[in-house]
Amino acid sequence: MRKFSLVEFSVNHPKLIVVLSLIVTLAFMTQFPKMQRDTNPKHMLPETSDVRVWNDEVDKTFGLYEDMIAVGIKNEKGIVNTDTLGKIKRITDEIVRIKGVASRDVNSFPTITNVTAAEGALRVAPLMTDVPENEVELKAFQKDLYDNPLFLNRIISNDGKTTAIYVPLEKGANGKEVADKIREILKKEKGDEKYYVAGDPVARDTFGAEMFKLMAIFAPIAGMVMLFVRYMMFKDLFLSITLMMDAMISIVWSMGLFIALGVPIYIMSSMAPVFLMAIATDSMHIFNEFYFRYKEKRDKKAAIIETMKAVGRPVRYTALATAAGFGVMLFMNIIPVKVFGGLVAFGTVALRVLSFSFIPAMFMFVKEANLDKASQGEGMATGGTSRLLKRLAGLGVYKSKATVITGIILFLIAVIGISKIVVNNNLVEWFKKNSEVRVADREINSALGGTSLGYVVAISESNDEYIKTPEAMRYIEGLQRHLEKLNVVGKTFSVVDYVKRINRVLHDDNPEYDMVPETKEAVGQYLFLFSMSAKPSDLDNVVDPSFKKANIWVQLKTWDSGAMEGVIKAANEYKKQSPIPLELKPAGIAYFNLIWNHEVLWDMVKGFVLALIVVFVILVFNFRSFKWALVSYVPLVFTVILVYGVIGFSGKRFDMPISVLSCLSLGMAVDFAIHFVSRLKQRLKEAQEPLTDALLWTAARPGKGIMRNAILFAASFAVMMFSPLTPYITVGALIVSMMLLSAVMTIIYLPALIVLMKGWLFKEV
């Protein structure tokens, strides 16, 4: 019984294949209205992860909010004037009415708690109940503002030119939507003031919205670029559209499947369409070989069948290698990483199914006259590209020792560069320097305590309200001063600050009493008096009702994940120097960002290492030879090492976008080697010619497909370099470099290795 051939079935029933492909595509498209987006960084980690469980516990214990927006207001002439203070009052009044804002806990001049004393009694009231209207009132307000250390560097800068309104968000509120409403409020206030809106929810949700928007823009643009470049290569519009359809169909299938399964689209997985668009360029090898075969056979159907016989095996195994490279992500811990890996892996498999069905079927609709015209330049002797590739391969073939030694030197230099790589992530820096989000963050951080918020929770090991003791209070105060020595820390705040403030104002505002009281009873009395008049959140945010836990707020001047790492290190150092029965544990969004940054990046690294192993096994299985698999592995390893070496020397930090690149580079770099070595061995078997001739033939004919694939791949990603988001620029620039470098490595370096190692390689032939 004759074995079923999908290719032959497709060329014999082209209309059926095209109709079925479109029906399946339309079925998947019906799922798109059900799409759900998720940009919440907490969902990067499983619900059971230690950091999520602990952060949730801290939020609940201290009545904290997950997200906080900082609104900066700057006036070069000074904040304390009737006009500016009136604007601050109006802005605050409108902000508290925005849906999604936790209005009762907004902190601004009109709402923040001020602790003073009147006639020997403690007075706790908002700092600015009414806008000062004359010079006397302004001076009184200024004294209250600057005499209270709780306010300095928190809601008023040292130079008096900048203030901030801290806007906590209710759970589930969208940071970008709230920020946009705040900006609308700010637009109505004209004058000398400049306004800035910053904070993690602003950056995160703005980035998420921009990323989804850019995906909707760049995927079609990448498709059009592919269409144009493909047309310039083959001068055939119909088949150029076919290649684009191949990519678009796989995108619809993969996205539609995951949407149907109820999987939300995360920030990372939103990049899948552009990745699939680029991976689809591997079908260029089919197009490349088909034109050669058609020129030789002058029979369309025979040329298609022979083309797929010639390139079918390498196309299958390149797809398997690429799918495996992304598929290993399914075994990682980070949910968006799993979804991203699954999306691209499934899309890659779909692309290969289409390569053996949809593409052959579409070839049948091309007119012979168009094929005659397009195939004219595909001869080995007449094609300019083939001649150039032959000369490039000649460098490796005839100067193999010099080529290999040069490569080894570059490799060693790159290893030194890799040793200089710093692992770090900063969401705000994913925007360009002049972007509204980044400018706002920079301005507020330079003037005030900082927009990034972390906590250090002091936990008593006893059950006797130990936090109230002077010993514990002084210990916390000492920790705050120790943390404030760090350049990244702009301000710390704790229950001790309230206690010291109350102690001072109850002693006629004498600076000598700006200290922790001598007895536990005095501390308890002060806090009781404070709780009677203050907002509940004032005390709840810094100490729990049992006084077993105290929460130290740490404002950071950068969103670098390493900043919170420095805080944790400093806290641990302090604990070793001053051991008392208090455990110190980090928490907050800055701590969460540190952990998920670490988890995501190292998950990607682990996935990359696992993919390296899986891909090598696939190479061994494909070539049925450990030796050939090892040689084919070299362009992949060299490409990755050289590119990441450049990253190390450039000072570019290893962040999440760069870590994602590793998997893509793995899949594509090894694809070129599979095609080259497979066709070389095939040529040696069929033509019985010397190795040097076979290498030059492989570089000139299949190598043309490799170079076309690299150029097409690079062109489709190059559009990302025009993005307003720096991760897109990074991904675009590095992938263009990776693709061109891996193609050159395959055409020049691989032949040099094969020539030098021919005695070892061909022992088994």
Range with the poorest average pLDDT among 75-79, 172-176, 179-183, 395-399: 172-176
Q: Which residues pair with 674 in a beta bridge?
A: none
Both tokens assigned to 729 = 């620029």
Residue 515 has pLDDT above 50, yes or no: yes
* Model pLDDT, residue 313: 82
- In terms of C-beta density within 10 A (0-12 exposed, 13-18 middle, 19 or more buried), how is residue 395 classed? middle
Mean pLDDT of 245-271: 85
- Assign residue 193 a region (left: φ > 0; alpha: ψ between -120 and 50; beta: otherwise): beta
Mean pLDDT of 260-267: 84
Can you give 434-472 as a three-state secondary structure string? Answer: CCHHHHHHHHHHHHCCCCEEEEEEEEECCCCCHHHCHHH
* Model pLDDT, residue 337: 77
Residue 532 has pLDDT above 90, yes or no: no
Structural domains in the chain? Answer: 1-63+235-378 (1.20.1640.10), 64-203 (3.30.70.1320), 436-594 (no CATH)
* Model pLDDT, residue 156: 92
Residue 168 has pLDDT above 80, yes or no: yes
How many other CB atoms are found less than 10 A from the CB of residue 655? Answer: 23
713 close to 639: Cβ distance less than 8 angstroms? no
* Model pLDDT, residue 669: 65
* Model pLDDT, residue 381: 45
d(CA 516, CA 499): 7
d(CA 308, CA 311): 5
Both tokens assigned to 219 = 């995927």
Q: Which residues pair with 554 in a beta bridge?
A: 454, 492
d(CA 681, CA 686): 9
Mean pLDDT of 27-47: 81
CA nearest neighbour of 611 among 350, 422, 331, 280 = 331
* Model pLDDT, residue 277: 78
Indicate the residue type of 641: I
- Assign residue 743 a region (left: φ > 0; alpha: ψ between -120 and 50; beta: otherwise): alpha
Q: Which helix (H) or strand (E) holds 243?
A: helix 237-260
- Assign residue 459 a region (left: φ > 0; alpha: ψ between -120 and 50; beta: otherwise): beta
Both tokens assigned to 754 = 């094969």
d(CA 265, CA 311): 35
Length in residues, the chain: 765
Identify the residue with better confidence: 314 or 79: 79
Mean pLDDT of 705-728: 80
How many other CB atoms are found less than 10 A from the CB of residue 355? Answer: 25
Q: How confident is the model at residue 730 (pLDDT cuts 50, 70, 90)?
A: confident
- Residue-wise pLDDT for 336-383, tens only, equals 778 888 898 899 899 889 988 998 888 888 777 666 665 565 554 445
SS3 419: helix
* Model pLDDT, residue 665: 63
- Assign residue 549 a region (left: φ > 0; alpha: ψ between -120 and 50; beta: otherwise): beta
Cα angle value 579/584/590 (rounded, 5°): 145
d(CA 703, CA 675): 8
- Residue-wise pLDDT for 604-647, tens only, equals 777 778 878 888 888 888 888 888 888 888 887 888 888 888 88
Q: Where are the alpha helices (DSSP H) in 96-173?
A: 135-147
DSSP 251-288: HHHHHHHHHHTT--EETTGGGHHHHHHHHGGGGHHHHH
Give residues with Cβ within 8 angstroms of 573, minimum separation 6. 482
Give residues with Cβ within 8 angstroms of 14, minimum separation 6. 360, 361, 362, 364, 365
Q: What is the chain's mean pLDDT, rounded?
A: 85
Mean pLDDT of 414-431: 84
- Residue-wise pLDDT for 110-134, tens only, equals 999 888 887 778 888 888 989 998 8
* Model pLDDT, residue 121: 81
Give CA separation, 142 vs 13, 81, 203, 667, in Å. 84, 10, 33, 63
SS3 30: coil
- Output Rg (C-alpha) for the chain, integer angstroms: 32
CA nearest neighbour of 741 among 642, 675, 649 = 642
Residue 41 has pLDDT above 70, yes or no: no
Indicate the residue type of 237: L
d(CA 111, CA 116): 15
- Residue-wise pLDDT for 66-112, tens only, equals 889 999 999 999 999 999 999 999 999 999 999 999 988 899 999 99
d(CA 163, CA 196): 10
Q: Which residues pair with 587 in a beta bridge?
A: 455
d(CA 460, CA 584): 9
Angle, helices 436-447/200-234, rounded to nearest 10 degrees: 150
562 close to 440: Cβ distance less than 8 angstroms? no
- Residue-wise pLDDT for 649-697, tens only, equals 888 777 776 776 666 666 666 778 888 888 888 888 887 788 888 899 8
SS3 299: coil
Q: What is the dihedral of CA 217, 219, 225, 229, to 10 degrees?
A: 180
pTM, to two decimals: 0.80
